Chain A
């Protein structure tokens, strides 16, 4: 016991570094054991959990795709029947979009954004814990349902009337709709946390023009989530009401409309693509800057492109409905807007090219994935321009051409940057380096396997092969390419397997990483690898876009925060001028209880509408427990 323990309201100004670290650790650390694990609100622990869970879903979804490829390798194969196949492709799409792609991007942000903006925890950390539990519950609901042969079988887009009360018997479609609610609640919660973190918790001095591009991209993404997710909320609620209590939203005979569903779904569904892609833009920008040893060319242009993409994203949902028989004038407008989005995307590509051209490239694994991204994503963008043309789209819509297109966009445009980002930030997250040699092999296999798997699908689509078919007849000229595609998928899978092995092995026994192994310039590298529970012992002060490059000697920091409670600093939106000190909430089990109560309510509501009434009682109790002050210093400050 040191004499200082008795001093009330101790501040970091009075302490030496060792003592400061000790005290901050005891204030911020998550207690060991099950209780600590369940009640933690540390953004790094939750972010890590989120990332791992999302990658587990990626692996599961990948296994589903291999099953589909096995079935499609030959004509009239009998490996999987139509009923199971429909469940499998629905699960693959739903899982990859709702349980992998969106959550993994948010998960990376949950981990990285507070570090990159130089704060100690995300805004609303308990909401963050709640959002993870909701996500996990939604994922479990979907996968357990699938395991017991009750998985949704109506496609990830769940078009009515096929998913409606008359044609989707049983609870399969209800499970889909409620799973959406789970992931939607968790995504919206994270989006709110990120917006507030970026707006109000940036390090003093980090004005809007000094935010790292990854943070900008997550800010725009969060706004996209906030504006887009309510559409699917309305849609899935209407669907469940139609199915459960007999509302008539989608019944044309009673004034409803089938296309209403498609409008609502794609008003969400198209921004969804950018919700997945924009974070990847941020990752690419970060990696490019680090591995070319210079800041990204055209920072302002990049930010404008992000915002422009975000706005345009809401103006092109109809290009998913070009063959639904809408008025021609409307279609023409959406052709123009869909094509126009190529301009900001093009700007981003050119800026990265300029950065590489002007920089000094270092060919490490993360950078290799970015190069792979450039090659693949540009193809995906080109085919995107193709499907934006109405006449072109009438031939390729709902064919394997589109399957190829969006895999080029989503795998090329998001998974490649994501894998690069994992290699890049792995040392920060785990404190250990990944293996460079295995990384190169994994990249090579994934890049080759991906192109061999998905490029031929363009041709299959043009040859008339529709999507979502569980088999095809031997007289169709598709069997050769399909066999080729299925074999190539094995290469792709091998690449992913290698990546997973490398990640697990490195996390356990990789070489220990220094604080800043890549000589990067953003704030997350200013702290140790992995960061301590409190992220920074004193709040960093920022004066440029590259705080670590411009202050190679010592990091400017601010002092004056309490160490006996979880304090961080709140700054103004534009200039990041300090406005207040703020206590960040401590660990709490109530988010878990609230998530469990919500889970019971949502699953119960598949069976009776009264669940909404009775199920909200425990939920209200849990939420009251969550917000009721416990008399801690954080509560009463």
Chain B
């Protein structure tokens, strides 16, 4: 087919940032998938609760300490996270490197606290349906912290390599920061569900 050139694209930037980036939209789509998963896990929790004669089933309400510490930790991590995203946008390599190291540490810290959340539920996954759903919810969220942590670690390594100083990498970092916001955001309803709903 014959062609007539009607548009010149050569002035466009060679890589889009933010909503012009494909990975931004891909991350968003994966957040939608996982968000639906979290919502369904909460729905299962509430469904089982609606059937149970008392709730929690055969266990005292979970201890608040570990869960609350983790929640505060996650909320606190949002500030450096937002800063990292901002630095990535400014393509400031030095600050991004420092920020990523901080975020790596802030990814490891909640995992350590998480270890104490499982016993705080006062029962095991195989004791009854309540135990099953709370362990699965905690496990589901833990895998999200873990995968984002691994992503952060890989990106940190990348930023110290020769591939670091590149707009594409900065885009990856802000997508990763967005994903961490999502990991924190999904935890809040889970926290309320796991720790406060049984106290209603």
Q: How far is the CA of A561 from the CA of B14 in the complex (A)?
A: 9
Give the interface segment out of B26-34, B86-94, B105-113.
B26-34
Assess whether B163 is in contact with A631, with CB atoms less than 8 Å apart.
yes
Q: Are B41 and A234 in contact (CB under 8 A)?
A: yes
Shortest Cβ distance from B33 into A: residue: A226
Interface assignment of A541: CB less than 8 Å from any CB of chain B: yes
The CA of A254 and the CA of B132, in the complex, are separated in Å by: 10
Q: What is the bound-complex CA distance between A565 and B31, given in angstroms?
A: 30
CB of B3 within 8 A of CB of A538, answer yes
Interface residue? B120 (CB, 8 A): no
Q: A570–B13 Cα gap in the complex (Å)?
A: 10
Interface locus among B74-82, B95-103, B121-129, B192-200: B121-129
Contact check, A637 vs B14: say whether CB atoms are below 8 A apart: yes
Give per-residue flags for A251-269: 1 if the beta carbon is below 8 A from chain B beta carbons, else 0.
Answer: 1001111001001100100
B residues in contact with A231, CB < 8 Å: 36, 40
Min Cβ gap A585→B in Å is 10
Contact residues in A for B154 (Cβ distance below 8 Å)? 624, 627-628
Complex Cα distance, B6 from A620, in Å, reads 46
Closest to A124 in B: B26
A580 to B15, CA, bound (A): 6
CB distance from A630 to the nearest CB of B (A): 9
Residue contact A263 to B47, C-beta cutoff 8 Å: yes
In this complex, what residue of B is CB-closest to A558?
Answer: B7
> Among the listed stretches A83-91, A194-202, A315-323, A367-375, which one makes contact with chain B, having 4 or more residues with CB under 8 Å of it?
A194-202
The answer to whether B125 and A245 have CB atoms under 8 Å apart is: yes
Q: Who on chain B is nearest to A553 by CB?
A: B2
Per the bound structure, the CA–CA distance linking A635 and B166 in Å amounts to 9
Bound-state Cα–Cα, A581 to B21, Å? 10
Cβ-defined contact, A196 with B22, below 8 A: yes
| From B10, B19, B44, B150, contact of A13 by CB (8 A) | B10
Is B3's CB under 8 angstroms from A557's CB?
yes
Tell me the nearest residue of chain A to B29, going by C-beta. Answer: A192
Query: In the bound complex, how far is the Cα of B125 from the Cα of A481, in angstroms?
Result: 51
Contact A230 B33 (CB under 8 A): yes
Q: A255-B52, A570-B22 are in contact. Are A11 and B10 (CB under 8 A)?
A: yes
What residue in chain A is nearest B32 (Cβ atoms)? A226
> Contact size class for A?
35 or more
A560 to B1, CA, bound (A): 19
B22/A560 in contact, CB under 8 A: no
Closest chain A residue, CB of each to CB of B56: A255
CB distance A637 to B15 under 8 Å? yes
Number of B interface residues, CB 8 Å?
Answer: 55
How many angstroms from the CA of A226 to the CA of B10 in the assembled complex?
A: 35
The interface residues of chain B lying within 8 Å CB-to-CB of A210 are none
Q: Shortest Cβ distance from A20 into chain B, in angstroms?
A: 10
Known: A247-B125, A581-B12, A582-B16. A195 touches B3 (CB 8 A): no
Complex CA distance for A573 and B2, rounded to whole angstroms:
28
Given contacts A195-B25, A538-B5, are A560 and B12 in contact (CB under 8 A)? yes
A636 partner, pick from B2, B34, B168, beta carbons under 8 A:
B168
Task: Indicate if the CB atoms of A233 and B37 lie closer than 8 Å.
Answer: yes
Chain A proximity of B139: nearest CB distance (Å): 9
Chain A, residues 490-504, CB within 8 Å of chain B (1/0): the string is 000000000000000
Query: In chain A, residues 598-633, which have Cβ atoms closer than 8 Å to a Cβ of chain B?
Result: 620, 624, 627-629, 631
Judged by a CB distance under 8 angstroms, whether A554 is at the interface is yes
Which residue from A226, A256, A526, A561 sits with its C-beta under 8 Å from B129? A256
Evaluate contact between A238 and B33: CB separation under 8 angstroms.
no
Interface residues of A in 524-583 (CB under 8 A from B): 526-527, 537-539, 541, 553-561, 569-570, 572-573, 578-583
B130 within 8 A of A: yes
Complex Cα spacing A554 to B48, Å:
63
Of all chain B residues, the one with the shortest Cβ separation from A229 is: B33
Q: Which B residues are in CB contact (< 8 Å) with A233?
A: 37
Asked if B188 is an interface residue, CB under 8 A from chain A, the answer is: no
Q: Are B127 and A569 in contact (CB under 8 A)?
A: no
- Say yes or no: A264 contacts B44, CB within 8 Å: yes
CB neighbors of B among A450-498 (8 A): none
> Would A196 and B127 count as touching, CB distance under 8 A?
no
Q: Give the complex CA separation of A384 and B126 in angstroms.
A: 41
A580-B48 contact, Cβ under 8 Å, with A123-B26, A554-B3: no
- When C-beta atoms are compared, the residue in chain A nearest to B125 turns out to be A247
Whether the pair A629, B163 counts as a contact (CB closer than 8 A) is yes
Between A and B, 16 residue pairs with Cβ closer than 8 Å are A11-B10, A191-B29, A230-B40, A231-B36, A247-B125, A247-B135, A248-B126, A249-B133, A256-B132, A264-B44, A557-B6, A558-B9, A580-B15, A581-B9, A581-B14, A636-B168
Q: Which positions in A face B, CB cutoff 8 Å? A: 11, 13, 123-124, 127, 188, 191-192, 195-196, 199-201, 204, 226-227, 229-231, 233-234, 237-238, 241-242, 245-249, 251, 254-257, 260, 263-264, 267, 515, 526-527, 537-539, 541, 553-561, 569-570, 572-573, 578-583, 620, 624, 627-629, 631, 635-637
13 more contacts with CB within 8 A, not counting A247-B129, A580-B12, are A123-B26, A201-B22, A231-B40, A246-B125, A247-B131, A255-B52, A538-B5, A554-B2, A558-B8, A579-B12, A624-B154, A629-B158, A629-B163
